[in-house]
Every structure is written in C-alpha cells, then in structure tokens.
Amino acid sequence: GKQIRIGIVGYGNLGRGVEAAIAKNPDMTLAGIFTRRAPADLKPLFAQTPVHAMASLNEFQQTIDVLILCGGSKDDLPEQGPALAALFNTVDSFDTHARIPEYFAAVDAPAQAHGKTALISIGWDPGMFSINRLYGEALLPDGVTYTFWGKGLSQGHSDAVRRVPGVKAGVQYTLPSPDAIERVRSGARPELSTREKHTRECYVVLEEGADAAVVEKAIVGMPHYFADYDTRVNFINEETLRTEHNRMPHGGFVIRSGNTSEAHAQVVEYSLQLESNPEFTASVLVAYARAAYRLNQQGQFGAKTAFDVAPGLLSIKSPAQLREELL
C-alpha cells in the first residue's frame, strides 16, 4: 500500500537514529533530512538520503506526511515545534518535563488551526516510561511508583550541557543510587527525594579561553536539568571525549508496588537496556509517526501525548491481524 513519507528535522544523534529506524519499517520512506547547517556538511548514514536546507521545508508540504523533529529540547524544539505544527503533522521527543504543559499548548494551537496532528514528548522518558507510570497508577491505585535511569548517557542533559556558553562539546551520564534502588526492591516503599535517587556526571570540553568555574556554575545550577541533583562537572580535552565518551548506552526501569488487598502486594515493572539511547528513541518516534499519520487521516487534529495514542495505531499490522496474532 501507500508508504508514509517522513521528513527528519535536525540531524544529530536522534536524526541519524530516525534515518536508521525508517529502513526497518517497510511502510515508511524517508523524503529527506532538513538541517540548519549547510547540507553539504552532513554525512548521512545512507549515501542516497537527500539532505536539504531548512529554508526549503515549505516546498515539501504536499510530499511529506509526517515530520520527525530531532532538535534539542532545550533551545530547538520550543521554537521549531510550534512553527512546524502549523505546516506538517509532527512527532517530537520534547523532554523538559517541567515545561511540557506550556509546550503542549504552544503546539496545540497551530496544529488545531491548520488541521495537523502533533505528537509531543514521545520517546522513553517522557514516552514509554510515562505510559508505564500511568499503567502502574491505574492498575494498582493503592501503591507507589519509582523511576530509575542509568547508568547511562542522557541526550537531553547532554544537549543542555552543550548549549552552555563556553562549552565546545560535552556529555552527561545519569547514575542511579544503588542504595535507593536496594530500598525500593526490598519492598520498603521509601520516600525518596529527587536528589536521593540519581546523581549526574558531566564531561565537558571548553571553548578556547572559556572560564571553567563559570561554566561549572551554569551547569550545576541549571533549572529543570541539574539544580535538583548533585552534579559533578569534569573538564576533558576533545581527544578524551572522542575516545572515551563516544557510546550512548542508557536504560532504566519503572516499578509500581501496590496492594490489591491487605493480604496481597503486587509489583509491575517495565525496564529498558539500551546499547544506543538515540537509536531506541528514534525507533519509538518512527512507530508514533505511523500513528500520527493515521490520527490525521481520522481527523484527530491538535497536540497529543503518548497517553492519547491507542497502542494499535503504532503497529504495522492491521487491527484484524492484531486480533489474530497478539490478543
């Protein structure tokens, strides 16, 4: 049948992951990559992938079904999300949790006004972990939920570090507290503050002449990303970053402990072990692009989150096939 035509906006770790993921979905085809840089500067994963300047995006309104927005949540998506939701169906991974309500509103208005469908904050957290936190609360109303990430590389926090003036390059690792995990797994249902659950470790390459103390202060005090955590900042050179910090593994789990009666405790858990955080996130975005296309065909316009998307819309299988095979 008809292939769903995808455009990638922003070619970083996530954009490259989406290029790979589309090749794994036979009902999808990649119309092209759109970048703010000079297209000739980009080396796509597949030589045949077209690369266009962002300015030419308007010309593709009739030939692209869904845009997957792969920009950074700190500075790119707040501007690109609302602007592009007026022109295309979109899917993004916006993950500045504290700002999701305002981002939802900023994207919903243009999408509604132009009959577009915009799936926001898709990925694993927010995204698949959000869905599993919802399942936990809905299925075991009397209980507690915990989310742990890592040890691994957070792309949102790494992007945020890279945006600090004076930072040339950088990554951020999230480390869960072994003690906190042990207390949760013991069934003790402890009260844990944000600071007690994870610490954050940054590795930063400074621009020439940048002041390390000023950069460190800007990172550790950064609202929404670092201010609520104990954070260490290590300064390294480009060679070390390239050789020791070029892998992007991550993972984690959502656990719900609850009681269905005095007598019976129940536990629900969802976990991820990711060799590549960006490739997994990209694969989630591509499955949701299928849903965005279908929702738009159904006249479901405006901004939506992972909570609003029926699981069947993600599958390449037809509803009848799903009933036969997966029920």
Ligand X SMILES: N[C@@H](C[C@H]1CC(C(=O)O)=NO1)C(=O)O
Ligand Y SMILES: NC(=O)C1=CN([C@@H]2O[C@H](COP(=O)(O)OP(=O)(O)OC[C@H]3O[C@@H](n4cnc5c(N)ncnc54)[C@H](OP(=O)(O)O)[C@@H]3O)[C@@H](O)[C@H]2O)C=CC1
Tell which one of 89, 93, 231, 283 touches ligand Y (CB under 6 A): 93
Using the structure block, give the residue that is written with the tokens 């979109």.
90
The residue among 117 and 174 lying less far from ligand X, judged by its C-beta, is 174
Terminal Cα-to-Cα distance of the chain (whole angstroms): 25
* Residue 124 is a binding residue for ligand X (CB under 6 A): yes
Report the site for ligand X in 82-111 (rule: CB under 6 A).
95
* Residue 149 is a binding residue for ligand X (CB under 6 A): yes
Using the structure block, give the residue that is written with the tokens 């040890």.
151
Tell which one of 90, 117, 155, 174 touches ligand Y (CB under 6 A): 155
* Residue 219 is a binding residue for ligand Y (CB under 6 A): no
- Reduced to 3 states (helix: H, G, I; strand: E, B; else coil), residue 233 is strand
Using the structure block, give the residue that is written with the tokens 């929702």.
295
Count interface residues toward ligand X (CB under 6 A).
12
* Residue 132 is a binding residue for ligand X (CB under 6 A): no
Query: x/- site string to ligand X, residues 242 to 271, per CB under 6 A?
Result: --------x---------------------
- Taking the complex as a whole, the smallest distance from the CB of residue 124 to ligand Y amounts, in Å, to 4
Answer yes or no: are the C-beta atoms of 172 and 157 closer than 8 Å: yes
- Taking the complex as a whole, the smallest distance from the CB of residue 248 to ligand Y amounts, in Å, to 8
How far is residue 159's CA from residue 29's CA, in Å, rounded to a whole number?
28
Cβ-in-10-Å burial (0-12, 13-18, 19+) of 204 comes to: buried
Answer yes or no: are the C-beta atoms of 86 and 20 closer than 8 Å: no
* Residue 143 is a binding residue for ligand Y (CB under 6 A): no
Q: Which residues pair with 269 in a beta bridge?
A: 255
**Contacts to ligand Y by CB under 6 A:** 10-15, 35-37, 70-73, 76, 93, 95, 123-127, 155-156, 159, 162, 277-278, 281
